[in-house]
């Protein structure tokens, strides 16, 4: 079955063009423009259209690549790592349980310094029930992968190209994330770069790879004599990555006219209280800020490596006193969920009060009501205390914490299978 | 089985074939998770004592039978391929099968028996004798299944026989079965062992009768004096003295080298061969070698092969495409790695688009 929306990418794109597509198809188009050699696909909602779209351009003859339907996500990641080892440019995509299933092969991509790019279409994972909608599974673990997060379809398109640039510049695998359904299935207008422009940004270089004329072993047994130094080398090399991401953002900005920063702000100047989050929620907050100009927004565009210095600079420059970290994950048994944790660590030496707020799990809408609640809640706090609370939580059948009216659960469109 | 004509396949004839295969899966079967300390796997035969299925007072070792994956692999529905059992005691047969597999397009899978003196509990110098008894008794018949246009054809390289006495010699030669003969239910357990083995053997024979090659008997004709010593694995490695895997590595590399020279990449599953040939900064491998995880060697090898082939197709790789060998064992391919092995074999035997592309674009 041919996926018609990929039509614009069946023909060469010669000039900057505006298209209207969903997030996943936009990613497929961008990846196609980067000329990947191997694409590893295993279906999982809400990621699947990205690889469907790529199969379309391959089968249509618009892209020469090995499109491989693998037997699982662990196989997709194994395949990606091993194919990248030959020097091939590799793309794969996943979400939720698929990301969890990939875990065992994720660290090898880092250890072998392989520039793989991967889309995560963020989705809840199964516990205690299955839910195919949006939460942040990707914050659970990264093993040294780079991660950039996008807010809308335009940013997803740009991220798909920048992820290849970042991966190949840093020689660390790079995932780019958009929120499942909210961005992956949202139809937006967005600008596309000409093919030639994209290829200039991601020139094919010969990387280190398995070479029959220069034999080596990869992934052999090491004793306690060696592993620590190997881990140390990886951690040291990772320290250059943030600066490399800056270079990529600058180069991409020059080519596209869209300049990204690792930590972006909206209406932050002189604000004592800031909301900090990433992904699609930034858009909600931006419109809510129209009625709440006393609250600033800090948006993390880069999640890993964590852009701590940039965050510190924002806090310092604006003398921010309170930060509400709003995130779509939680952490049973921990003091803070993952995003709050990183923010807390980064701002350890600052006298800024930080609270974590867990919202929108499993695709629940995050509305102005929740932001109003968080605004009044965070105003009451002072001092450093690591804690987080749920907002928008159902307290009884018709009462939801922080929300004026009961949630209407009839609005979710069915999302297909799992 | 009726006496009939035997086909002789010469090394020269195989090497002269215009056809090629770039991807071969090898599963060495030592009948348990030996690398982690002799734990039971689905390859473990009935009543064998392992560290997770010990010879207890109540339960006498493994309950259940030895899994046979050859049949399933050959009947996945692939369009073309070469599937075979091998035994390092019959080294010309194994070398011949490696060459044959690398010169037959489609799926390629060889399942080779591998003694383990630690896990089977036999003296270091008894491995070859046990290997021989395994085949002579009918426990490990030597056969191949060639699939052409989706149709399998069985052939035997040793005349198949089922010999209870030799089976008992094979069993009694291994300490993992010693407890069986000290128990009051010895008749019942040995009867089950014999009948389970006979059933496995009968199934193979019946399939061979239903899907026979003509002729049904064949053998490989190789003059070992003309075969150069392999230069893929250095003699120094950490395998136990008397380990079957050492023989297998040498014979496998000898066969691969005949076809590929040194243009080869070995991919190893986590296993005894992996840990004993790759340690620290003195690995045994003189050709590229990759190990990633316990279970995914089929997928890894498939991906390495695909990586080279697509780069060649796109004009980004200018050397001849290397052969890729997936090597696993120790239960890693029977159990945890089964899905990956199956998928890699299946893709290789069905997914011809890329192969066709490579042929057209690079003149292979």
Whole-number Å distance between alpha carbons of A350 and B65:
65
Percent of chain A surpassing pLDDT 70: 95
- For chain B, what is the mean pLDDT? 93
Is residue B358 pLDDT above 90, yes or no?
Answer: no
More reliable by pLDDT, B363 or A104: A104
In angstroms, the CA A24 to CA A35 distance is: 17
pLDDT score of B349: 77
CA dihedral B71, A78, A120, A20 (to 10 degrees): -80
Distance between A80 CA and the closest CA of chain B, angstroms? 7
- Asked if B361 has any chain A CB less than 8 Å from its own CB, the reply is no
- Asked if A110 contacts A173 with a C-beta cutoff of 8 angstroms, the reply is yes
d(CA B88, CA B94): 7
CB of A329 closer than 8 Å to CB of A356: no
Chain A contact present for B306, CB below 8 A: yes
Which residue, among B37, B292, B95, B237, has the nearest Cα to A82 in the 3D structure?
B292
State pTM to two decimals: 0.94
What pLDDT is recorded for position A401? 75
Mean pLDDT over all residues of chain A? 93
Closest to A63 in 3D by CA, of A51, A72, A71: A51
pLDDT in tens, A145-196: 999 999 999 999 999 999 999 999 999 999 999 999 999 999 999 999 999 9
pLDDT of B119-170, one tens digit each?
Answer: 999 999 999 999 999 999 999 999 999 999 899 999 999 999 999 999 999 9
pLDDT of residue A100: 97
* Nearest residue on chain B to A38, alpha-carbon basis: B307
Count of positions (residues) in chain A: 418
- Mean pLDDT value of segment A388-399: 85
Residue B121's φ and ψ, nearest 5 degrees, are 60, 70
What's the confidence (pLDDT) of residue A4?
Answer: 76
- φ, ψ of residue B5 to 5 degrees: the values are -60, 145
Q: Cα separation of A339 and A358, whole Å? A: 10
Mean pLDDT value of segment A84-96: 97
Residue B354 has pLDDT above 80, yes or no: no
Reduce the DSSP state of residue B97 to 3 states and report it: helix
Higher pLDDT, B149 or A273: A273
Using a 10 angstrom Cβ sphere, with 0-12 exposed, 13-18 middle and 19 or more buried, the burial of residue A4 is exposed
Measured CA distances, B289 to A263, B46, B323 (Å): 42, 35, 12
Taking an 8 Å cut-off on Cβ atoms, the answer to whether A220 and B293 are in contact is no
Q: Which residue of A has its CA nearest to B267?
A: A218
pLDDT at B31: 97
Q: Nearest by CB to A86, from B275, B299, B308: name it.
A: B308
DSSP B351: -
CA–CA separation, B288 and A211 (whole Å): 7
3-state secondary structure of A396: strand
Q: Which residues of B fall within a CB distance of 8 Å from A210?
A: 265, 288, 290, 304
Q: What is the pLDDT of residue B111?
A: 97
Residue B268's DSSP bridge partners are B291, B327
Average pLDDT over residues B2-22: 89
A267/A292 Cα distance (integer angstroms): 10
Query: What ipTM is given for this predicted complex?
Result: 0.94
* A26 φ, ψ (degrees, to nearest 5): -60, -40
pLDDT surpassing 90 at residue B251: yes
User: Is pLDDT larger for residue B165 or for residue B237?
Assistant: B165
Name the residue among A416, A9, A344, A23 with its Cα closest to residue A198.
A9
A91 and B CB contact within 8 Å: no
> Is residue A403 less than 8 Å (CB to CB) from chain B?
no
Confidence bin at B359 (pLDDT 50/70/90):
very low
A312 within 8 A of A350, measured Cβ to Cβ: yes
**Residues of chain B with pLDDT > 70: what percent?**
95
- Given a cut of 90, whether residue A18 has pLDDT beyond it is yes
**Would you state the pLDDT for residue B351?**
55
Which pLDDT score, from 0 to 100, does residue B356 have? 52
- B352 in contact with A at a CB cutoff of 8 Å? no
The pair of three-digit structure tokens given for residue B125, joined into one six-digit string: 């110098």
State pLDDT tens for residues B278-321. Answer: 998 889 999 999 999 999 999 999 999 999 989 988 999 999 99
Q: Is the pLDDT of residue B353 over 70?
A: no
Which pLDDT belongs to residue B364? 36
C-beta atoms of B300 and A82 within 8 A: yes
- Given a cut of 90, whether residue A350 has pLDDT beyond it is yes
A224/B contact by beta carbon, under 8 A: no
Q: Looking at the complex, does the CB of residue B307 fall below 8 Å from at least one CB of chain A?
A: yes
The pLDDT tens digits of the residues spanning A284-338 come to 999 999 999 999 999 999 999 999 999 999 999 999 999 999 999 999 999 999 9
Chain B within 8 Å of A108 (Cβ-Cβ)? yes
Weakest-pLDDT range from A108-122, A150-164, A254-268, B1-15: B1-15
Residue B208 scores a pLDDT above 80: yes
Number of residues assigned to chain B: 364
Cα distance between residue A127 and residue B121, in whole Å: 45
Instruction: Kindly indicate the confidence band of residue A414, based on its pLDDT and cuts at 50, 70 and 90.
Output: very low
Facing B291 at nearest CB: one of A210, A215, A218:
A218
- Asked whether residue B186 carries a pLDDT value surpassing 60, the answer given is yes
Gap between the terminal Cα atoms of chain A: 19
User: Exposed/middle/buried for A376, CB within 10 Å: 0-12, 13-18, 19+?
Assistant: exposed
Q: What's the pLDDT at B363?
A: 35
Residue A418's pLDDT band (cuts 50, 70, 90) = very low
Q: Is the separation of the CB atoms in A137 and A100 below 8 Å?
A: yes
Q: Which residues of B touch A65 (CB under 8 A)?
A: 310
Burial class from Cβ neighbours inside 10 Å (0-12, 13-18, 19+) for residue A35 reads: middle
């Amino acid at each position: 079955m041919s996926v018609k929306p990929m039509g614009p990418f069946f023909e060469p794109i010669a000039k900057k063009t505006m298209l209207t597509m969903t997030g996943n198809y936009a990613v497929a188009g961008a990846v196609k423009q980067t000329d990947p050699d191997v694409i590893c696909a295993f279906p999982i909602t809400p990621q699947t259209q990205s690889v469907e779209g790529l199969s379309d351009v391959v089968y249509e003859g618009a892209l020469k690549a090995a499109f491989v339907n693998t037997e699982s996500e662990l196989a997709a990641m194994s395949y990606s790592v091993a194919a990248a080892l030959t020097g091939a440019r590799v793309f794969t995509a996943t979400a939720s349980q698929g990301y969890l299933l990939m875990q065992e092969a994720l660290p090898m991509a880092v250890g072998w310094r392989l520039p793989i790019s991967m889309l995560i279409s963020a989705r809840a994972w199964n516990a205690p029930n299955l839910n195919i909608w949006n939460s942040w599974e990707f914050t659970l673990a990264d093993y040294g992968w780079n991660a950039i997060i996008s807010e809308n379809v335009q940013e997803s398109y740009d991220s798909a190209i920048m992820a290849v640039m970042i991966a190949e510049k840093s020689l660390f695998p790079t995932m780019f994330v958009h929120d499942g359904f909210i961005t992956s299935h949202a139809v937006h207008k967005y600008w596309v770069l000409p093919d030639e422009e994209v290829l200039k940004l991601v020139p094919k270089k010969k990387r280190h790879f398995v070479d029959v004329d220069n034999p080596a072993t990869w992934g052999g047994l090491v004793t306690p004599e060696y592993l620590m130094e190997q881990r140390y080398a990886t951690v040291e090399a990772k320290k250059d990555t943030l600066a490399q991401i800056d270079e990529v953002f600058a180069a991409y900005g020059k080519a596209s006219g869209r300049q990204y920063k690792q930590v972006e702000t909206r209406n932050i100047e002189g604000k004592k209280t800031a909301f900090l989050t990433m992904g699609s929620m930034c858009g909600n907050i931006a419109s809510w800020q129209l009625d709440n100009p006393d609250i600033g927004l800090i948006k993390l565009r880069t999640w890993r490596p964590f852009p701590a210095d940039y965050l510190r600079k924002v806090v310092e420059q604006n003398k921010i006193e309170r930060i509400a970290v709003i995130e779509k994950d939680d952490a049973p048994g921990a003091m803070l969920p993952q995003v709050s944790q990183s923010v807390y660590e980064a701002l350890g030496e600052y006298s800024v009060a930080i609270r974590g707020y867990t919202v929108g799990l499993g695709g629940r809408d995050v509305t102005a009501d929740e932001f109003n609640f968080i605004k009044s809640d965070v105003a009451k706090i002072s001092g450093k205390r690591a804690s987080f609370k749920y907002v928008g939580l159902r307290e009884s059948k018709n009462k939801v914490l922080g929300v004026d009216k009961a949630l209407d659960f009839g609005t979710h469109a069915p999302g297909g299978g799992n | 089985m009726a006496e009939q004509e035997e086909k002789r396949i010469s090394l020269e004839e195989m090497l002269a074939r215009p056809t090629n295969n770039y991807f071969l899966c090898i599963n060495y079967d030592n009948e348990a998770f030996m690398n982690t300390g002799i734990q039971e796997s689905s390859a473990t035969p009935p009543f064998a004592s392992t560290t997770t299925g010990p010879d207890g007072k109540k339960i006498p070792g493994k309950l259940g039978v030895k899994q046979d994956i050859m049949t399933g692999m050959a009947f996945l529905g692939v369009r073309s391929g070469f599937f075979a059992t091998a035994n390092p005691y019959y080294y010309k047969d194994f070398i011949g099968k490696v060459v044959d597999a690398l010169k037959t397009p489609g799926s390629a899978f060889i399942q080779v028996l591998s003694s383990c003196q630690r896990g089977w509990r036999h003296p270091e110098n008894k491995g070859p004798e046990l290997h021989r008894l395994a085949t002579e008794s009918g426990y490990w018949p030597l056969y191949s299944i060639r699939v052409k246009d989706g149709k399998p054809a069985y052939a035997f390289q040793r005349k198949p026989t089922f010999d209870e006495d030799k089976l008992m010699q094979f069993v009694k030669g291994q300490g993992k079965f010693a407890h069986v003969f000290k128990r009051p239910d010895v008749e019942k357990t040995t009867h089950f062992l014999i009948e389970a083995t006979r059933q496995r053997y009968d199934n193979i024979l019946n399939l061979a009768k239903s899907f026979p090659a003509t002729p049904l008997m064949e053998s490989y004709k190789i003059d070992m004096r003309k075969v150069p010593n392999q230069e893929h694995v250095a003699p120094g490695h950490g395998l136990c003295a008397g380990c079957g895997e050492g023989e297998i590595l040498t014979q496998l590399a000898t066969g691969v080298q005949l076809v590929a020279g040194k243009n080869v990449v070995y991919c190893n599953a986590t296993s005894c061969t992996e840990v004993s040939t790759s340690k620290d900064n003195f690995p045994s491998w003189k050709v590229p070698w990759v190990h990633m995880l316990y279970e995914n060697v089929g997928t890894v090898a498939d991906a390495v092969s695909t990586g080279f082939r697509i780069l060649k197709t796109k004009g980004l790789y200018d050397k001849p495409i290397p052969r890729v060998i997936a090597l696993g064992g120790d239960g890693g391919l029977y159990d945890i790695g089964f899905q990956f092995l199956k998928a890699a074999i299946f893709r290789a035997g069905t997914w011809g688009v890329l192969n066709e592309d490579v042929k057209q674009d690079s003149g292979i």
